[in-house]
Amino acid sequence: MTREKDLMTVTGQNLKDQIRKLVELQVMDEEIFRFKRELREKPVELEALKVEFDSKKVTLKELEDKLKTVQVQQKELELDLKMKEEGIAKADASLSLLKTNKEYQARLLEIENLKADKSIVEERILLGYDDVDAARKALEAEKVTVLQYEKEFNAKKKQVDDDVAVIGDQVKVKESQRSRIAPEVRPDYLSRYERVLKNKDGLGIVKVDNHACGGCHMHLTEQVMNELKKYEQIIACDQCARILYLADDL
């Protein structure tokens, strides 16, 4: 009877030691999972900034194209004005060569029409100057905005790259520490813990808190509580499958 009791005490103590090791691993694994989550989130954060920066560059390109368009339109109007002025001058010069009054009056009407068209073109040119000026101002303002975004993006990218490098080093340190403890855990316990760890987002073993699972908060029956106190086998939550332990006993 005494021998059997002593055997159970040793076995229970061994299981406690194993659970302590798993709790140590859990502390490191929580940090490792947090660091790796940050490593996943950092590029996403940077990509969002890049998308916004790229949209600003698209707007800049559109404004550049708009300025080129109104400048081309302005040159076309100026060319049209020059042709009308040449037409008027040519028509004026031909007046003295006309022989009949009818031809003379027709040519005068032609000149008046050319002058009216010229006046319209001149008005459009004046309005065009305003369009060119407005397009140029909008472009210059957007250039300032894009330059500011570029500075912010490059600064953020450098910060993200630095953070990623630091976090990567922290992961290596924690994984190195973990590799020294993991071999001290029985392979079957370790395998079970790591399987739950992976499936439960970095939380494989949790303490019991006020008769409830520390992971999913499901209430634990008295039978489960009694089994935990015996330390005869690994006990897991029926709902979330996380390994349970009693913090006060360790």
Write out pLDDT tens, residues 152-174. Answer: 999 999 999 999 999 999 999 99
Question: In this model, does residue 195 exceed pLDDT 80?
Answer: yes
User: What average pLDDT score do residues 40-66 get?
Assistant: 91
Return the pLDDT at 1. 33
Q: Quick check: 143 and 67 in contact, CB under 8 A?
A: no
When computed from its CA atoms, the radius of gyration of the chain, rounded to whole angstroms, is: 42
Question: In this model, does residue 100 exceed pLDDT 60?
Answer: yes
**Percent of the chain whose pLDDT exceeds 90:** 86
Distance CA 102, CA 115 (A): 20
User: What average pLDDT score do residues 98-116 get?
Assistant: 93
Where do the structural domains in the chain lie, given as residue ranges? 2-185
Question: In this model, does residue 250 exceed pLDDT 80?
Answer: no
CB count within 10 Å of CB 214 equals 18
| Confidence tier at 13 by pLDDT (50, 70, 90) | confident
User: What average pLDDT score do residues 75-94 get?
Assistant: 94
Torsion of CA 208, 227, 240, 243, to 10 degrees: 70
Distance CA 224, CA 230 (A): 10
* Tokens read off for 243: 């390994």
How confident is the model over 213-244, as pLDDT tens digits?
999 999 999 999 999 999 999 999 999 999 99
Distance CA 114, CA 206 (A): 92
Question: In this model, does residue 3 exceed pLDDT 80?
Answer: no
When the pLDDT of each residue in the chain is averaged and rounded to a whole number, the result is: 91
- What distances in angstroms separate CA 136 from CA 66, 97, 187, one per listed residue? 9, 48, 71
- What distances in angstroms separate CA 2 from CA 13, 73, 146, one per listed residue? 16, 106, 82
Question: In this model, does residue 201 exceed pLDDT 90?
Answer: no
User: What average pLDDT score do residues 75-84 get?
Assistant: 95
The class of domain 2-185 in CATH terms is: mainly alpha
Strands, E, within the chain: which ranges?
205-207, 243-245
Closest CA to 37 of 178, 194, 203: 203
Question: In this model, does residue 10 exceed pLDDT 70?
Answer: no
Question: In this model, does residue 7 exceed pLDDT 70?
Answer: no
Q: Quick check: 23 and 214 in contact, CB under 8 A?
A: no
Return the pLDDT at 220. 97
Closest CA to 245 of 21, 5, 30: 21
* Tokens read off for 98: 């006309």
